[in-house]
Amino acid sequence: MHELRKDPLLNRWVAVQFDSKPPEYYNFEEENEKEHSCILCAGREKETPSEITAIRNKGSQPNDSGWLARVIPNPNPILRIEGDLGRRGIGMYDKMNSIGANEIIVETPEHDKRPEDMGLEQMVRVVTLYKERVADLEKDSRLRYALIYKNSGKEAGAVYTHSHSQIIATPIIPMRVKDELDGAKKYYAYKERCIFCDMMREELRYGDRVIFETKNFIAFCPYVPRFSFEFWILPKRHSCAFQEIYAEELEDFGLMILSMIKKLRSVLKNTPYNYIIHTAPNRIPRRDHWHTLGEDFHWHVEVAPRLMRISGFEWGTGFYVVTTSPEDAAKYLREA
Ligand SMILES: [Zn+2]
Ligand SMILES: [Zn+2]
Ligand SMILES: [Zn+2]
């Protein structure tokens, strides 16, 4: 079991496992490499927790084979859906129960199918499940934020080799998200414009950092990246919440993700990577709190290849060193 503890210096919440045994760092990936050991594969449905939702062939039953993409609770969750928040103080410190959701989106029934080889129809199924799950989790008033993310490769944090993404919904707004929301709000207060819309206009005007465009989306390397070959995907239509994406945009979003992962693979081969979707926090319980959120925030995807490990310098300063300029990275990715 985990509990959530708040750092009184930086207001950052950390999930701490409190009933841990002496160090037992289990290598999930190695375990999954073993033959017949992957529970995400088709035919192993009975060995996973009961599915939350799935896109299935006609006539197939839940928790049976015949699915095309499915969502299951994480078998090793950090946060649990049952219970109350139990927020309390211990002397000068704050803590709460690890309430939240931890879900795995199994992107394909086939163990060796990589996202870049899935095809558009399958990628659209995956992003459709993303939307469905975030929209559903937003209804739980205990939850403040839902992050969709993908870890690809062990060095990027993946515990399964089978293609998957994850959702974690937290009872607090995580610090990185809050920093972005605050920055966007300040910019809006000053300029009365969305910073992301401005950024998009500037990138299109300048051009050298733009990688790829579809009807509804644009991919570019940010002017100030933290990782070499980092890129962002933004919807051209201003919208603060990913789950409010239109049906016709969803298809285009699938195309954008698929095209960009293909480009990433073609330039950087097997480099591990992460992507995340930054959407607005849950607005239901604190409707009055986010006065301008609908205008000042703009949902987006951030993609970070893990070419180098974080060093003591980055850890100690939050100051990143990037070895490929975003202008060069965009050029390589554009031409791929
Ligand atoms: Zn598998
Ligand atoms: Zn915008
Ligand atoms: Zn972001």
**In the chain, what are the domain boundaries?**
2-170, 175-335
| Residue 295 neighbours by CB distance under 10 Å | 16
Which residues are in the CB-under-5-Å shell of ion ligand 2? 194, 196-197, 238, 298
Mean pLDDT of 241-246: 97
Q: What is the CATH number of domain 2-170?
A: 3.30.428.10
Domain 175-335, classified CATH 3.30.428.10, yes or no: yes
Query: Can you give the pLDDT at residue 291?
Result: 80
Query: Can you give the pLDDT at residue 42?
Result: 95
Q: Indicate whether 317 pLDDT > 70.
A: yes
Mean pLDDT of 282-294: 72
Cβ contact 123:258 at 8 Å: yes
CA of 118 to the centre of ligand 1 (A): 15
CA of 284 to the centre of ligand 1 (A): 37
CA of 186 to the centre of ligand 2 (A): 14
Q: Indicate whether 268 pLDDT > 80.
A: yes
CA of 171 to the centre of ligand 3 (A): 19
Give the closest ligand to the alpha carbon of residue 106. 1
CA of 307 to the centre of ligand 3 (A): 20
Domains 2-170 and 175-335 alike in fold: yes
Long-range contacts: 41-44, Cβ < 8 Å, 24+?
41/109, 41/110, 41/111, 41/162, 42/67, 42/109, 42/110
Per cent of the chain over pLDDT 70 is: 93
Which residues are in the CB-under-5-Å shell of ion ligand 1? 38, 40-41, 111, 162
> How far is the C-alpha of 180 from the C-alpha of 279, rounded, in Å?
11
Model confidence over 118-174: pLDDT tens digits?
Answer: 999 999 999 999 999 999 999 998 999 999 999 999 889 998 999 999 999 999 999
Q: Per mean pLDDT, which range of 88-97, 282-291, 300-309, 322-331 is the poorest?
A: 282-291
Give the closest ligand to the alpha carbon of residue 294. 2
Query: Can you give the pLDDT at residue 283?
Result: 77
Give the closest ligand to the alpha carbon of residue 295. 2
Q: Phi and psi of 149, rounded to 5°?
A: -150, 160
> How far is the C-alpha of 53 from the C-alpha of 75, rounded, in Å?
16
CA of 253 to the centre of ligand 2 (A): 17
Model confidence over 9-44: pLDDT tens digits?
Answer: 999 999 998 877 766 555 555 555 555 689 999 999
Q: What are the residues facing 304 on neighbouring strands?
A: 274
CA of 327 to the centre of ligand 2 (A): 23
CA of 163 to the centre of ligand 2 (A): 31
Mean pLDDT of 215-225: 98
Cβ contact 79:101 at 8 Å: yes
pLDDT band at 310 (very low <50, low <70, confident <90, very high): confident
